[in-house]
Structures are given as structure tokens and as C-alpha cells.
Structure 1
């Protein structure tokens, strides 16, 4: 089989200058293992935050187009980054499945992928449970078809080409479910054939590869660490257990997943501007998306890490929040000052250069940060002022409680808002399953 043309970013990734210390490095291995699946689920819920506002503004068809375009812009880029970070350097079906396990499009258990490998170039997967389907089914078959057909077909291929441009992911069966309670929810084949043409890199992904988010250096992984896996060069594991990974690897994975959030948001913004009637409308919808996911993710992070509502807890939630990270990209710094928490957003950073989420936070618009604070403690109030080098936001506790914003309430429509991860025991390495077993 001839080799597939690899993806080539505008600049190679590197760890030579990892930037400021990562807040993730202050966590224990156990805390990091809890945090990573939470971050993956948070990334999945970005669309629950954004798509409702698109439907309201433009209708289902435009929402579908934006969903396709944002994922096709982002997923080849962040999949390439994760492959580079964890040494997933092959171009087989197994390598592709490893990438899916570390993708915000497929958070563990909520999107319960079950993998089967026939040989290096043929495999399959089913979703025993699809949280996205559970969210969309109540809206009717038109929305199910939009997600499971219109969106999945091009975006699955866009993800696959980061591993092999001759890969194709095709359905065996998928919703709308017949009968209505059919399980598994869907089933797909994955094939790599030598005589088929290579898929091109989507045009939007070519653009995103040129952005700072695609190239920023994050925390290096110490390959000599003895506290767990430092790469994913071994066999594919069903039900990947993050507690088996080294603290350094988990730190890098957490940072990469935060960056997946940023890249997806940049893809969303890129597409949204094509359909918005004005830049003002695009900014309004983009900020609503950020507000919703900022509040919901803060709520889940606080619960997952078993934090209280005091200043130290808020500081930890904000420091680890994926919409404000990774720190090497955003430059955001968080500190406790007595009973208050101070968050600083520099005017100059790779994130500011890219013009994504971080640029929505101004003196007059800190709704996303207030949503995050309210999730930790409704009595917290955020106030902002400009400084010589950026924006300073102070969080202090008052006597009047803030109500949860409508943007956060919309995200709670998703079953992911109260989803609980289960301990499924040790990871099991998958072996090749011969055809005709």
C-alpha cells in the first residue's frame, strides 16, 4: 500500500519554548485523570451552547452548515497536534481510533465508541450510547438526520484524513433509529484502500493551520517518567483509563484538549461570519456560545474536583477552565488576593492574535466570566477594568445572588450537563479480530 500524504502544518510543532508554568502541573495524577474526560465532555458541549442560537437566528439548514464547516476546519488541525504530542505516528485504522479517543467529538462514555480492528487497514466501531443523539432525538427526525447524516459524513472524513487521506468512514446503520429503541445507536466501517484518491485538506483547515493555535508549543512530556504512559505508541485500549498515564502526559493532554476548544471556536467563528448579517450579529452569537459553555463547564469542573465555593476554589476553576486556556496560548493568569480572585488577560498573546474567544472579553462584556463565577458561587460578582497591559477582572462575594444566565440554561438541555463517568475497570488492549470470526 502506498503511503498517504501526511498533513503538514505551516510551522512544525515544538516544545522548545513551552511558556509560562501550566496550572495543570499543580494537580496530582489522580486529579488530572479526573479532569481530562471532563475537558473532553466540555468540548463536546460547545455545540450545545452555540447551535441553539444559530437555529434561532438562521434556522436548521444554516446551523447544519456551520456545524459541518467548524468541525472540518478544526478537527484535522487538533488531531494532527494530538498525534504529534503522543507519538501516534502510524497511518492505520488503529492509529485513527487512538485519535478519536482523545477528541472532543468523542468524549468517553458519553459518546460510547466500541472499536474493532480487522487488520491495519480495516476496522469498525459502534456507539453503544450516543449522548449527542439523546440530545437531538426529542427535536425530531429532521434534526437527527442533519446530525447523523449531513454533519457526520463530511466531518468524520475530515477527522480521518489527519491519520490517512485514503481513509473513509462509512455507515452500516445510523439514526433515525428503526425501531425507536435500536442499539447500538449506530455502526460504522473504517477502510483504507491503496487505489482510492486522497482526500484534500479542507480549505478552512488550511487557514486554521496558519493560526497561532495550530502551532503554539505546550508542556513537553518527559518520556523518562515512570508514573504511567508517556505516549500512545502501544496497542489501542478499549475504555482508555487516564489513571494509567503519567502526570506529565496528562498535563499535555489536558492542554491539548483545551486547545481543541479554542480551535473549534475559531472554526465556528470562521463559518458564522459567512452567514451573519453583520459583524455585530456574529459577535453576539459568538459571545453567547462562550457564555453558555463557560458557565456549564465551570459547574462541572467544580463538582469533578470536589471544590467548595471559596476564593481558592474559584481560582482553581478559572485556571483550569478550557475556554481560558491553555495558558501558553491565552496568557491568562489567576491569583487569590485575600477574599478576592484576580484574573488578568494580557492584551498581547497568541489567542489575541487569532481573534477568537479571548477577544470577546472586554470591560463592557464579561458575561462569560460572570457565568463561570456564578456556577461556582451565585454570590460572586465580576468587575473589570483596563490596565496598561490588558484587562483585569476581580471576583468578590456580595450579598445578592446572581441568577444563572439563559445561555447556560440552554446548555443544560443536554444530557451531558449532568452526565456521570463510571469506573469501567482496567484498560483492555484490543487485538486484531480476523474476518469470519
Structure 2
């Protein structure tokens, strides 16, 4: 069995795919929060969002720091982490940074895709996102680097005037006088998950390109500058970010409803993001709509990676693709996305394959206590897009296009 779904990609394709994975990770909440609002109301949705990010972001932030060799306790380290965080996908959430010294800095957003999504919904939703949710979750991300870091607004939406630019600005200050907030009650459930401790292949420092991010903070990350090995590791870490966020999401949801309703919300969240992610992977790598393209999309889909966590196997026949989902893996033990793929609940997989071509149909071939196998074939019937995918498509991120910004600048202390 291959050890990585990404190893076979070219360096150039990996450089295209990594920011796509970061953006799709961000769009998870465009799917999940819609169903949280329906179940718990706007205030309940905000509580779910706060808890999921508080539980997940410290875990995956430290993982990425270790993977790319930029561990430390400075403001600069915090900013580097944000550049590789599904909470801040490049360009869509256009973070700009200034570092004053080890303990002081500022960031602001020249463009905020999340705000573009929420502003049409009214001021109450803007306040919920930019005040209620951001205050504790920005701090949770910063605290992963330094327990005495605080993120505080200079200004933020609702925008006054309505076209205020940048849309928001924040200070980051590290001080021994800052008392760290209490550890969230359910933090250990994510911190001690299988996903949190998954071991991935070390970056090969001998390959061409940047093998780490130990150098200066850059104004933008230009992914083609990184080595093939570093990009593979980034891609797999971003997949784990998505799984960890989903674990946090499900913990928050289960604490507010019964098991059956929580499972239903989880599958709807998964369905919405699964289909849109397949579509964006297909388009970003200029793939087609045939079975070979489907097999490639499935090999790269974050819900099915990293392979050391999910154990998923994908094989091709002349006119079909087969997907094997084993029952005894880290993802199954955690209750992550692969655990939501069952013969009885095909919606997430149907959305995933129909994001490549709406004529694909999965059919269960075998099922046993060891797992199940699905065969996916191309038929004549064109299936309507799942409502969960249509809800996720509400985000401006669904059609967002990345641009080449040229050579990034190092951000030295001012």
C-alpha cells in the first residue's frame, strides 16, 4: 500500500494543491455552521465554532511548526503558523503582518472571504463571527506558540464606513503579565486523539527547494519555492488539520444534542465539503471527468488522507474505481470523516464522486467487520447536486481563484 497519496504528484502540482487544501479546510465551516444554525440557533452556532477551533488549532499549529522547523515562542512564529492554517488560507483570508520585536506585532486583513460571506447575512452575524468567535479563537491559536500571547482588535467589523479597508486590524502582544485562559474542558479529547499523534515522514532536506520555514517571515508563502518533500508534508498536515477540526466540531455538537442527531449533522457537514473539495481539486489540477480523473481526485482528497491515518485504498479497473474503507484505523477510532463513510450512509461519498462528474454512482461490493469496498462507475443519469453541497457553495470561496503575487518579501523587525 502507498505510504502517501501525494508522493506521486509533481512538485509543481503540489504547489498548486497545498493552498487549495488550505482553502477547502476553511470552507468546512461554511458547511458545518449552516447545519449548526439550524440545530442550535445563531448563538449555539457561535458556541460550536468557538469550541471546535479552540480544541483543534493549538494541536495542529504545533504539528505544523515541528514539521517545518519554525518552533519558537515569538510573534513571528505565531504569524508563520497563521500562513499555514486552514483558518487563514492565503489570499482568501489575506493576512498582512508587521513584526515590531519578539513580543509585539500587528496583522490586518486586506481581504476577508469569511466577511464577504457573512456581511450579506446582517450585522448580528458579523458580530457573532468577528467578535464572539474571533476573540477566543485567535487567542487559542496564539497560545499554541506562547501561553502569554494575546490578540486584541485595533478595529474590526461591522465596518464603519461600510467600505472600510483594511477590513480589520489586530495587535499581538506577549507579556508575562498576561494570564493564560483556562484550558477548554474537552481539550484532551482532541489533544490525545490518534490524529494529534500521527507520525508522518520527515522532510527530506536534500531535495531541491525550501525544506523548512526556519528563515525570515515572508509577506506571502510562495509554495513553488518549497521542495517536493516539504510540500508532501504540508499537504498531509493540512489534511490532519481538517480531521482535527472535524473532531472538535463533533465534540461540540455531541455535547448539545443526542447521538443520532449529532451523527446526522456530522454527515451533512462532511457531504457539503466533500463535494466542493472534489470539484476544486479536479479543476485546480486540470483533470477531467472520467474514471481515471476520479481515482486521482480520491487519492488526493483530504477526507481520505493521510493514508497512515485513514488506511483507505483506491484501485482502478478499466471502467471503474474501487474504494476500500478498512474498519480498524486511527480515523475510525477517532470517529473522523472515514468513520462517517458507511454502506448505510452513502451521501458523503456520493457528493465526493459527483464533485468530479454528476454521473458517477457508488455501489457497495463487499461489507464485513473488517471494512467495506465500493465500486464507482459512470452511468447515464445526471444526479442533482446535493443540497449540502449547494449550501457550502454559498461561500465566495467556492469560486475563489488564487493568483501569482511574485517574489515575496522578508518581513524584518521595523
For normalisation by structure 1, the TM-score amounts to: 0.93
Of the structure 1 ranges 191-200 and 402-411, higher mean CA displacement relative to structure 2 is found in 191-200
Long gaps (5+) in structure 2: none
Mapped pair 1:377 → 2:357: yes
In structure 2, the partner of 1:184 is 166
Q: CA deviation at 1:199?
A: 3.9
Partner Cα separation in structure 1 for residue 82 and residue 179 of structure 2: 23
Q: CA deviation at 1:388?
A: 5.9
Q: CA deviation at 1:49?
A: 0.5
Pick the aligned partner of 1:337 from 302, 312, 317. Answer: 317
Mapped pair 1:357 → 2:337: yes
Structure 1 residue matching 2:363: 3-state secondary structure: strand
Q: CA deviation at 1:90?
A: 1.2
Structure 2 residue matching 1:255: 3-state secondary structure: helix
Q: How many residues align?
A: 413
Pick the aligned partner of 2:248 from 256, 261, 267. Answer: 267
Q: CA deviation at 1:324?
A: 1.4
Q: CA deviation at 1:218?
A: 1.3
In structure 1, the partner of 2:77 is 95
Q: CA deviation at 1:284?
A: 0.6
- Is the CA contact 1:381–1:397 (under 8 Å) kept in the aligned structure 2? yes
Mapped pair 1:108 → 2:90: yes
In structure 2, the partner of 1:402 is 383
Structure 2 residue matching 1:172: 3-state secondary structure: strand
In structure 2, the partner of 1:23 is 5
Mapped pair 1:219 → 2:179: no
Alignment RMSD, CA only?
A: 1.1
Runs of 4+ in 1 over 2 A off after TM superposition: 194-207
Q: CA deviation at 1:334?
A: 0.9
Cα-to-partner distance string for 1:148-168 (whole Å, 9 max, x where unaligned): 000000000110011100000
Mapped pair 1:39 → 2:35: no
Cα-to-partner distance string for 1:341-379 (whole Å, 9 max, x where unaligned): 001111110001111221111111121111111111111
Q: CA deviation at 1:20?
A: 4.5
Pick the aligned partner of 1:419 from 384, 389, 400. Answer: 400
Q: CA deviation at 1:200?
A: 4.3
Of the structure 1 ranges 357-366 and 44-53, higher mean CA displacement relative to structure 2 is found in 357-366
Long gaps (5+) in structure 1: 1-18
Q: CA deviation at 1:201?
A: 3.6
Mapped pair 1:257 → 2:238: yes
Of the structure 1 ranges 280-289 and 188-197, higher mean CA displacement relative to structure 2 is found in 188-197
Q: CA deviation at 1:338?
A: 1.2
In structure 1, the partner of 2:262 is 282
Cα-to-partner distance string for 1:163-222 (whole Å, 9 max, x where unaligned): 100000000000000011111000000010123323444332222111100001112211
Pick the aligned partner of 1:202 from 166, 184, 195. Answer: 184
Mapped pair 1:242 → 2:246: no
Partner Cα separation in structure 1 for residue 119 and residue 84 of structure 2: 25
Mapped pair 1:294 → 2:265: no
Cα-to-partner distance string for 1:220-255 (whole Å, 9 max, x where unaligned): 211222x11111111001111000000000000000
Structure 2 residue matching 1:217: 3-state secondary structure: coil
